[in-house]
């Protein structure tokens, strides 16, 4: 299998970037996209050239590190898979494949295909946790949770924080990511004590990081490798409105 690759090259965050074209032949269609980049980097290294920098870790669709835009689509053409689970059989022999980093101001390019997504970490630090001391882990059935609620919480918790939702959104909105991280804690009994503070703090940090507003195009849901539903955005909006009202009432009373 032969592919022509047009890959974004950028020395560092202060340098202008550009596309460079590479030819690869003899590729196995069953290779993953990242394995193909490994082959390219081996070739470049043997030629005395700088290899292409790209993020990766688990290569099993779990960590979300392998965030690439492939032919204009975050993670590539396949449905509900990460870049590491995209295989060359998704392309045709002789295709030209364009590979670039996520394009969003809160995700500055550090080098080639590597972006700084620490903005997500700061949003989590603002409230994506439960600080109540619970001692030893309780038995699984010690705190009754309705199955529907438990299933919803698990659906939200499936978010791997890859940032595909931001890359796909025309406004670079992080609403789907934040909604998932807020909802999976807000839904459960253990998260109720800090529900209002968590919602207000994480949304405030999202705005501080410079992410755009949601305009309900559902592009985030379409590219999410874990199929996180945009309904969580509506749920978070309700939680945010209720938290804002309660906060205003409390402030007025004080």
Whether residue 102 sits in one domain with residue 23:
yes
What percentage of the chain reaches a pLDDT higher than 90?
A: 91
Q: What is the CATH number of the domain that holds 217?
A: 1.10.1060.10
Residue finishing a domain among 111, 137, 170: 111
Q: Do 219 and 124 belong together in one domain? A: yes
Q: What is the pLDDT of residues 72-111, one digit of tens each?
A: 999 999 999 999 999 999 999 999 999 999 999 999 999 9
The reply to whether 37 and 70 lie within a common domain is yes
The pLDDT assigned to 134 comes to 65
Percentage of the chain beyond pLDDT 70 is 99
Q: Which stretch of 32-36, 57-61, 128-132, 148-152 has the lowest confidence by average pLDDT? A: 128-132
Same domain, residue pair 34 and 145: no
Asked if residue 124 and residue 79 are part of one domain, the reply reads no
Write the DSSP assignment of 129-193 as a string of letters: S------SPPPTTSS---HHHHHHHHHHHT-----HHHHHSTT-B-HHHHHHHHHHHHTSGGGST
Residues 151 and 229 in one domain: yes
| Inter-residue contact 108 to 114 (CB < 8 Å) | no
66, 93, 111 - which closes a domain: 111
Residues 155 and 49 in one domain: no
- Give the pLDDT mean for 184-192: 93
Tens of pLDDT along 102-159?
999 999 999 999 999 999 999 999 999 988 776 777 776 788 899 999 999 999 999 9
Mean pLDDT across 2-13: 97
For residue range 213-226, what is the model confidence (pLDDT) as tens digits? Answer: 999 999 999 999 99
- Domains held by the chain: number: 2
* Domain finish residue from 61, 78, 111: 111
Asked if 26 and 90 sit in the same domain, the reply is yes
Identify whether residues 131 and 234 lie together within a single domain: yes
| Most confidently modeled range among 12-16, 40-44, 130-134 | 40-44
**pTM to 2 decimal places:** 0.93
Q: Over the stretch 17-26, which tens digit does the pLDDT of each residue have?
A: 999 999 999 9
In which domain, by residue range, is 232 found? 118-253
């Amino acid at each position: 299998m032969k592919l022509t690759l047009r890959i974004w090259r950028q020395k560092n965050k202060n340098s202008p970037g550009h596309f460079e074209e590479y030819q690869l032949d003899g590729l196995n269609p069953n290779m993953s996209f990242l394995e193909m980049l490994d082959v390219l980097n081996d070739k470049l290294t043997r030629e005395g050239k700088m290899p292409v920098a790209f993020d990766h870790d688990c290569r099993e669709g779990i960590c979300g590190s392998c965030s690439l835009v492939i032919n204009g689509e975050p993670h590539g053409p396949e449905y509900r898979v990460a870049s590491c689970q995209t295989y060359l059989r998704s392309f045709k022999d002789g295709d030209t494949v364009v590979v670039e980093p996520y394009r969003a101001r809160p995700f500055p390019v550090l080098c080639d295909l590597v972006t700084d997504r620490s903005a997500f970490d700061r949003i989590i630090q603002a409230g994506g946790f439960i600080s109540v001391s619970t001692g030893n882990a309780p038995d699984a059935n010690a705190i009754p949770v309705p199955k529907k609620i438990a299933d919803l919480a698990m659906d939200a918790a499936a978010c791997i924080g890859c940032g595909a939702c931001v890359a796909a959104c025309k406004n670079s909105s992080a609403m789907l990511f934040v909604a998932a991280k807020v909802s999976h804690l807000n839904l459960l009994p253990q998260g109720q004590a800090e529900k209002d503070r968590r919602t207000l703090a994480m949304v405030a940090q999202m705005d501080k990081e410079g992410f755009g507003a949601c305009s309900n195009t559902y592009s985030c849901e379409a590219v999410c490798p874990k199929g996180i539903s945009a309904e969580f955005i509506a749920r978070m909006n309700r939680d945010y409105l209720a938290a804002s009202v309660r906060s205003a009432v409390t402030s007025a009373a004080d």
